[in-house]
């Protein structure tokens, strides 16, 4: 009798499963540790990715690449869909109604001002050095401006845990709402910059038309897809249950984002708008939906920063540190001007406006856009991931750890209820 051969996984697949499963597990543990020591989890996950060698020696003559650039680009695109969908899902119109106008201005006009000013500074710097044609430096600098134009509220909230419940609620709503709205704008502008690079011989009208089509199709399909999902889940009660709702919503999100991309629209905008529709529906169990997708979004965010750390060499980040620091300083000046301009004649005090300026940390979206530029094949794309990574690190170290002291210095903190009750006792 012959023994039945055992089913074994391919050695390469086994290594991938062990490596990425182990890295994801370590990332979760680091994120939990970061919460305890009051540091952003993304900082520790980024450092983990940088410290891990992307080349694994399988045998004496063979090396295995853990993550190729193409795979990193695909993972970051899928992860960004999950992050933006969750951003829309957690934007409650009723709760943020009081700050919707200033937040919308910061997220739309503010992104345009930020990208335009950074683009202008970059073009001036390149022209002063000389040697490059205007048709080459405009798209590159526009991409850099768009890449760093969006903010990440999750990093800010992680750093503000010591003051949880002690900052004015409208201020926190403004920071969260701006962060949720400005991601799609940054994505659209970055797409325009990449289109300009590949637009040799193509008129500006064609590029603008294509951009508008992506924008409108993304919004339309996202709204229709979200509305149909609400109708489907609302009429079929068997699907609107705690065990089924996360699976059905995730499956429909996959169909929606993939279908939008095939039709020529923006899958990221579609995901965000669909999240808005589902998150503001009264017929769905919002608690179950948000709990499930918060896990998906957290996993996506961890994978984003792991991917960036793996595909970028640490020495490249060191080489980009000088330029990234100059960019970081320009970003702070631009945000200072932009926030004070757009929040002028609003109920927010000067101290709150300064705090909003300092709370503009960068996170997952610049990372994903940088990898996308690298994988697109443009000549300067390889420079974007180290630059984005260095800028994110500067923000976490310089801005991040100054947030709590700044809030106290600006007298924005409310009395600690626990301290009051203990002193009364």
Domains, the chain: 93-412 (1.20.1530.20)
Residue 61: band (very low, low, confident or very high) from pLDDT cuts 50, 70, 90:
low
Residue 111 CB contacts under 8 Å (≥ 6 apart), including other chains: 146, 149, 150, 182, 185, 186, 189
Q: Name the more confident of 424 and 326.
A: 326
Write out the H or E segment, with its range, that includes residue 58: strand 55-59
pLDDT for residue 112: 92
Residue 204: band (very low, low, confident or very high) from pLDDT cuts 50, 70, 90:
low
Residue 176 CB contacts under 8 Å (≥ 6 apart), including other chains: 90, 91, 96, 153, 157
| pLDDT tens-digit map of 377-423 | 888 999 999 999 899 889 988 888 888 888 888 888 877 655 544 44
Please indicate, yes or no, whether the overall pTM of this predicted structure exceeds 0.75.
yes
pLDDT for residue 416: 65
| pLDDT tens-digit map of 215-262 | 788 889 999 999 988 888 777 656 656 677 788 888 888 999 999 989
Mean pLDDT of the chain: 82
138 within 8 A of 125, measured Cβ to Cβ: no
Q: Name the more confident of 39 and 318.
A: 318
pLDDT at 108 over 70: yes
In terms of DSSP bridges, do strands 55-59 and 62-65 run parallel, antiparallel, or are they unpaired?
A: antiparallel
Q: Packing angle between helix 100-107 and helix 109-129, nearest 10 degrees?
A: 20
- Report, as an integer, the average pLDDT of 287-307: 83
Provide, rounded to the nearest whole percent, the portion of the chain with pLDDT above 70: 86
């Amino acid at each position: 009798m012959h023994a039945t051969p055992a089913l074994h996984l391919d050695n390469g697949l086994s290594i991938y499963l062990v490596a990425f499963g182990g890295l994801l597990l370590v990332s979760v543990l680091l994120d939990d540790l970061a919460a305890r020591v009051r540091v952003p989890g993304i900082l520790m996950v980024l450092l983990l990715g940088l410290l891990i060698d992307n080349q694994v020696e399988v045998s004496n003559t063979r090396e295995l690449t853990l993550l190729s650039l193409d795979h990193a680009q695909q993972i970051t695109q899928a992860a960004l869909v999950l992050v933006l969908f969750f951003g829309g899902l957690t934007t409650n119109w009723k709760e943020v109604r009081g700050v919707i106008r200033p937040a919308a201005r910061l997220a739309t006009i503010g992104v345009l001002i930020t990208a335009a000013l950074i683009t202008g500074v970059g073009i001036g710097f390149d022209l002063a050095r000389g040697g490059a044609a205007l048709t080459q430096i405009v798209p590159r600098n526009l991409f850099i401006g768009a890449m760093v134009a969006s903010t990440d509220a999750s990093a800010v909230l992680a750093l503000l845990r010591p003051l949880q419940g002690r900052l004015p609620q409208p201020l926190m709503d403004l920071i969260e709402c701006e962060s949720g709205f400005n991601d799609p704008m940054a994505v659209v502008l970055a797409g325009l910059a990449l289109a300009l690079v590949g637009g040799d011989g193509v008129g500006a009208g064609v590029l603008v038309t294509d951009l508008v089509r992506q924008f409108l199709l993304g919004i339309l399909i996202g709204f229709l897809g979200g509305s149909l999902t609400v109708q489907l889940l609302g009429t079929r009660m068997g699907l609107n249950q705690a065990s089924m709702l996360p699976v059905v919503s995730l499956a429909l999100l996959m169909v929606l984002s993939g279908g939008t991309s095939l039709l020529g629209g923006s899958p990221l905008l579609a995901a965000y708008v669909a999240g808005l529709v589902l998150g503001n529906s009264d017929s769905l169990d919002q608690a179950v939906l948000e709990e499930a997708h918060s896990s998906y979004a957290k996993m996506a965010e961890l994978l984003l920063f792991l991917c960036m750390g793996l595909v970028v060499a640490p020495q490249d980040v060191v080489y980009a540190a000088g330029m990234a620091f100059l960019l970081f300083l320009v970003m702070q000046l631009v945000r200072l001007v932009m926030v004070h301009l757009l929040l002028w004649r609003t109920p927010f005090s000067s101290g709150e406006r300064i705090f909003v300026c300092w709370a503009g940390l960068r996170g997952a979206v610049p990372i994903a856009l940088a990898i996308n530029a690298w994988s697109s094949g443009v000549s300067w794309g390889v420079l974007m991931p180290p630059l984005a990574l260095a800028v994110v690190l500067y923000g976490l170290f310089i801005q991040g750890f100054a947030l709590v002291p700044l809030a106290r210095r600006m007298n924005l903190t409310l009395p600690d209820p626990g301290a009051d009750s203990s002193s009364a006792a």
